[in-house]
Structure 1
Amino acid sequence: MHRITMGIGALLAMLTLAGCQTTQGLGQDISTAGEVIQQEGAEAM
């Protein structure tokens, strides 16, 4: 579980540091992060 949390934290940090120039880009980044979190959750079960 700790490994998943670290992976999610790293992903969110990368997205934050990369920054987005538009609201649409931010929405796409958040969507991508959500998909990764869902995949990690499904793999953990």
Structure 2
Amino acid sequence: HLVENAFARIKHFRAIATRYDKLERNYASMLALAFIIIWLPMWAE
């Protein structure tokens, strides 16, 4: 359930949902940044 919710939130980022970047390195970096943006507010509480 937790993983499904994470992927549902990730799909809100256009560059990730459409695989905008050609290079795998850039895509992986964008994916990591999106997860940081999602999880950072959880740690602030």
Report the TM range for the smaller structure's normalisation. Answer: 0.5 to 0.7
- CA RMSD in angstroms, aligned pairs only: 2.3
TM-score, normalised via structure 1 length: 0.53
Percent identity of paired positions between Structure 1 and Structure 2: 6
State the aligned residue count: 36
Q: Which runs of 5+ in 1 are unaligned?
A: 1-7
Residue by residue over 1:1-45, the C-alpha shift from the partner in whole angstroms, topping out at 9 and shown as x without a partner, is xxxxxxx4533xx122361110001110111011101112223x3
Q: Which has the higher contact order (CA 8 A, sep 6+)?
A: 1
TM-score, normalised via structure 2 length: 0.53
Q: Which runs of 5+ in 2 are unaligned?
A: 1-8
